[in-house]
Amino acid sequence: MMNTSAPPSAASAFDRLPAATGVVAGLLAASCCLLPIALIATGLAGAGIMMTMMRFEWVTLPLGVVGLGAAFALYGRSRRRCDAAGCRFVGRRLNQVALGLATILVAIALLLKIFPSWTSALLLRL
């Protein structure tokens, strides 16, 4: 009988799911605060985009936080699954880096929301 399963070193889409979920969550959370500030700093947009994006922060920030939690849950489940099966978790480093960056983005977005004076100070320096 022939084994048709993928070799243990082949990365599946499921192995990359925590990283992708974390990146999307980080981008969602950053879209209300960090993305407009970055666009203003690079000269690609004006203050109008900041006002427009801030209207949707009630949706983007909670989605970012929930998405980041889901990404960590998926990562933990994948690690436990591989530890129990004795397999090598493919994409471990990619997942850790993506989750770390997403966590930083979500944390900064939440801090800018909680402390609006920081946002105005950043915009004054630009």
pLDDT in the model for residue 78: 82
Instruction: Tell me the pLDDT tens digit for each residue of 90-108.
Output: 667 888 888 898 888 888 8
Instruction: Tell me the pLDDT tens digit for each residue of 10-48.
Output: 456 667 778 888 888 888 887 777 777 777 777 777 767
Q: Which of 35-39, 75-79, 118-122 has the highest mean pLDDT?
A: 75-79
Q: Which pair of structure tokens corresponds to residue 81? A: 């699954």
With a threshold of 0.85, does the pTM exceed it?
no
- Domain assignments of the chain as residue spans, ordered by start: 16-125
Across residues 53-59, what is the average pLDDT?
Answer: 78
